[in-house]
Chains A and B, each alone.
Chain A
Amino acid sequence: RKEVEQDPGPFNVPEGATVAFNCTYSNSASQSFFWYRQDCRKEPKLLMSVYSSGNEDGRFTAQLNRASQYISLLIRDSKLSDSATYLCVVNMGSTGTASKLTFGTGTRLQVTL
């Protein structure tokens, strides 16, 4: 089983739609969680951290379910500019003093007119 698993997609949705991505992780001791966005041929960039209580940033809502070991990202009112690959990222704990993040392979979103 992969440490962080995501549906690769692609998710093809029309503008204005609501779309949700899920991600599961294997290590129950994982400490922190993130969603990154990666545009084609560019580096990943932090979209949002994911907190136990859930958090929202504009049209984006992230949720964490520790009992079931999954993280979700909801995008409301999709825009063409949301088209990208969304990476689920988990900090599975420290090794020495370095915090090592483990990345899912990403879910590709294509928003169309």
Chain B
Amino acid sequence: DVKVTQSSRYLVKRTGEKVFLECVQDMDHENMFWYRQDPGLGLRLIYFSYDVKMKEKGDIPEGYSVSREKKERFSLILESASTNQTSMYLCASFTGNYGYTFGSGTRLTVV
């Protein structure tokens, strides 16, 4: 089974801090994704990557950046955290016919 690991389950950060969310997958998949999930809004795509050093903006990239230096690792960066970035962040790896495998999520609170 594909394993997607997110480094933190819960994070509390202060407004203005730079925040790094890490995601690692163990199946050499090319496509990786970052979503945020908010009540009533569902999952919204922030950024995705289809290869090392390749990235594309999703639907809500503002305030975020990403890094993909190695195939197995896809990092989401909040350049200057704000309270409206309080959310559940989900990383996913694309497994073709089986859709996505998600990490267990990081619940980020910005205070």
Q: Which residues of A contact B (CB under 8 A)?
A: 8, 32, 34, 36, 41-46, 49, 87, 89, 91, 95-101, 103-106
Contact = CB atoms under 8 A, between A and B. Distances in A.
Interface string B75-102: 0000000000000001000101111111
Nearest to B96: A99
Given A34-B99, A49-B98, A96-B56, 18 more contacts: A32-B99, A36-B99, A41-B107, A42-B104, A42-B105, A43-B102, A43-B105, A44-B43, A91-B99, A97-B30, A97-B50, A98-B30, A100-B33, A100-B45, A100-B48, A100-B58, A101-B94, A105-B41
Chain A interface, DSSP helix/strand/loop, else mixed: strand
Contacts of B41: 105
Contacts of A42: 104-105
Given A97-B30, A100-B45, A105-B42, A46 B99 contact: yes
B61 to A, nearest CB: 13
A17 B43 CA distance: 29
Given A34-B99, A43-B105, A98-B56, A103 B43 contact: yes
